[in-house]
Amino acid sequence: MRFSANLGFLWADRPLPDAIRAAKAAGFDAVECHWPYDVPSEEVVAALDETGLPMLGLNTRRGDVAAGDNGLLALPGREVEARAAIDEAIAYGARVGAGKVHVMAGFSEGDEARACYEANLRYACEQGAVHGMTMLIEPLNRHDAPGYFLKTTSQAKEIIESVGAPNLKLMFDCYHVGRTEGDIVTRLGELLPIIGHIQFASVPDRGAPDHGEINYRMVFSAIEALGWSAPVGAEYKPGGETDATLGWLSDFG
């Protein structure tokens, strides 16, 4: 099993280039991030080149966070902002060698929101295809993100099928699925053809995977048995010094 460090949470107290170096020192096989846009891309590229780690992916901007935004793609009337965020993410991702962009839906509901979402997803997939990039959509659980448009893996599957773009895939986050739907191993098997990336954290506290309701030794074994060979993303909240939480890495790696 290979692991990617999500630097939105791990070593978040360090500048992104230093967090990349820390991930290499800890033994991770890859990195991913949330919103790296305030860091010059050349500094990220230098750290990636120095460590030899690939940058797997990043997120589109959330919008006006102070006003409560958590993504823009499913917000009718804000298509210009959504597509600017898509363009920005694809451009930055291309510069740092990221192959995937998580395009965030935002807080909304209803048929108009879905139509807006799907139109923006088609745009994102068209623009991403120019760079050979995959667009990811991720259902967020109702406890952490009440009102988020994309709520379940079944809803995500319907939207992926409706959009019909070959480079639109599901971000399967075991934490979010565990909190909302459960039956993680079965869902991984059923959804494998449309999964573009897998992430994990303990349930319910979103900490390291060495405790909580989910037996990650079993889950990781199941992922390997399915033939998944890409790095799996550690997107958990360390609740302190990241290095102090990494005992699981040698146990499961």
The answer to whether the predicted template modeling score (pTM) of the entire model surpasses 0.85 is yes
**Which residue in the list 42, 138, 213, 224 is annotated as catalytic?**
138
Catalytic residue, candidates 88, 118, 224, 235 = 235
pLDDT tens digits for 199-210? 999 999 999 999
Which pLDDT value is given to residue 128? 98
Count Cα neighbours of 30 within 13 Å in the Cβ-side half-sphere: 24
Q: Which domains does the chain have, with CATH numbers?
A: 3-252 (3.20.20.150)
The answer to whether residues 231 and 3 touch, using CB atoms and an 8 Å cutoff, is: yes
Identity at 228, one-letter amino acid code: W
pLDDT 10s digits, 61-75: 999 999 999 999 999
Long-range Cβ contact pairs of 119-125 (< 8 A, separation 24 or more): 119/79, 120/72, 120/73, 120/74, 120/79, 120/82, 120/83, 120/86, 121/73, 121/159, 121/163, 121/165, 121/168, 122/163, 122/165, 123/83, 123/86, 124/73, 124/86, 124/90, 125/163, 125/165, 125/167, 125/168
Q: Is 213 labeled as catalytic in the residue annotation?
A: no
Q: List, for residues 132-184, the tens digit of each pLDDT value.
A: 999 999 999 999 999 999 999 999 999 999 999 999 999 999 999 999 999 99
Asked about 42 being catalytic, the answer comes back as no
pLDDT of 105 = 98
pLDDT of 137 reads: 98
